[in-house]
Chains A and B, each alone.
Chain A
Amino acid sequence: RKEVEQDPGPFNVPEGATVAFNCTYSNSASQSFFWYRQDCRKEPKLLMSVYSSGNEDGRFTAQLNRASQYISLLIRDSKLSDSATYLCVVIWNNNDMRFGAGTRLTVKP
């Protein structure tokens, strides 16, 4: 089983659609979880942290299920500017941050 596994996509959705990404991780001792966004030929940028109780930031909702070792990201009312690769990130122990391979999203007019 991969350390952090994501559906690579690509996801092609129309503007205004709701899209969900999933991520699973192998290390049950993982401590912190994040979603990053990476635009083409750019550096990864933090999108949001993921908390056990679930959290929302505008159109973005993140969920964590520790029992199933599963993280999700929901994007509502997709915008053209949401087109990017979304990286699931898990911190296994101090300093050791593991990235998924990313899920590519294209939002079309």
Chain B
Amino acid sequence: DTAVSQTPKYLVTQMGNDKSIKCEQNLGHDTMYWYKQDSKKFLKIMFSYNNKELIINETVPNRFSPKSPDKAHLNLHINSLELGDSAVYFCASSQVGGLQPQHFGDGTRLSIL
């Protein structure tokens, strides 16, 4: 059984479109995250939610809006996609408190045409 699952795995779309990436975890974790890994392979945190509440919001354009309907789900909606949004987006989760290691989904590869 997949612990952290993201959909879709690949997303190819045109500039200006709006798209969503879904994430679900079945580990019973209270905290979920979104990361962006760009072409230089640097992994950078975007958002963190604990029990459906936003904990971390790095300097991410407000075109990116996370939504957590419950603690097992953290979806990422992106408006008006730009070329620079092309990257791999990873969802992750961890036990409450955040001092525990995070478990990652297998990533969503977003390509903007």
Contact = CB atoms under 8 A, between A and B. Distances in A.
Interface stretch (A15-23, A52-60, A64-72, A87-95): A87-95
A101 interface: yes
Interface residues of B, number: 25
A85 B104 CA distance: 16
Contact of A94 (B40, B98, B103): B98
Contacts of A99: 42-44
B104 A44 contact: yes
Contact of B98 (A87, A91, A101): A91
20 contacts: A34-B101, A42-B107, A43-B104, A43-B107, A46-B102, A87-B43, A89-B101, A91-B98, A91-B99, A95-B33, A95-B48, A95-B50, A96-B48, A96-B56, A96-B98, A97-B102, A99-B42, A101-B42, A102-B41, A102-B42
Interface of A: 31-32, 34, 36, 42-46, 49, 85, 87, 89, 91, 93-99, 101-102
